Amino acid sequence: MIRFDVLVLLGGFLGYLVSVIASTAVVLLFFRSNARLLPGGKVTKLFTGEATSRSAAPAIALGAATLCEAYLLRHAVFGVMTLVQDFLVVNGNRMVSGVLPLGPLLKLMGISALLLVVLSILSVMSIWIASTFFNWMTRGIDELAEIASGNIPVAILFAFVLFSITAILNEGIEDVSRALIPYTRSGVVRLQ
């Protein structure tokens, strides 16, 4: 006989809903922020038809920056999922009896929002700092100016450098995410 824990299923569906809403909102925010900052606002002109040349270089840089930030932000979704499941485990009996614990629910929402904001800022700032640092390290070439002028090979190199930095930075963002989760006794195995 297969037995499902309703609270675990509910937690999974709530987590899915949070990830859909958060990912759509935050990736759109990242896209708009990056379009203004990388490289020189030319990217938005490509999509509105105002550009004189139709080079893909700015779009490659924008896509790489947005993808890297979204990849790092997935740790915030993990944190929110953990908080929701912990909330359901701790408060599940009260919710089954029809009592919605408002205080813990507000706390859950506040900590989840804080986690999303902190990790979003860290993700965006990390990629912007990485791109600025890479541009500074290669003093002979201004990558962002080259990308804005349509240099596709430089845009591809820039994208791969961002991907490489993100692959390494991923572990640090994950550590910050896990450190920000206020685990309760119900959800963690404690060895002594």
Output the pTM of the full model.
0.72
Summarised one tens digit per residue, pLDDT across range 93-151 is 676 677 777 888 888 888 888 888 888 888 888 888 888 888 888 888 888 778 878 88
Locus of tokens 């845009």: 155
Higher pLDDT among residues 114 and 91, named by residue: 114
pLDDT attached to residue 153: 93
Assigned domain for 189 exists? no
Domain span holding position 137: 6-183
Q: Between 102-137 and 152-180, two packed helices, what is the crossing angle to 10 degrees?
A: 150
What is the full DSSP assignment across 87-110? Answer: HHHHHHHHHHTT---HHHHHHHHH
Domain count, the chain: 1
Mean residue pLDDT of the chain comes to: 77
Q: What is the CA radius of gyration of the chain?
A: 21
Locus of tokens 């949070």: 18
Structure confidence at residue 189 as a pLDDT band (50, 70, 90): very low
Terminal-residue alpha carbon distance, the chain: 36
Q: Identify the three-state secondary structure at position 188.
A: coil
Q: Which long-range contacts (CB under 8 A, 24 or more apart) does 103-106 make?
A: none
Number of neighbours of residue 89 by Cβ within 10 angstroms: 16
Assigned domain for 1 exists? no
Assigned domain for 188 exists? no
Tell me which amino acid residue 33 is: S
Among 24, 184, 17, CA closest to 107: 184
With a cut of 80, say whether residue 5 has pLDDT above it: no
Assigned domain for 103 exists? yes
Assigned domain for 191 exists? no
Q: How far apart are CA 51 and CA 43, in angstroms?
A: 9
Assigned domain for 64 exists? yes
Among 137, 126, 134, 170, CA closest to 155: 134
Assigned domain for 81 exists? yes
Tell me which amino acid residue 16 is: Y
Locus of tokens 């995410």: 177
Assigned domain for 192 exists? no
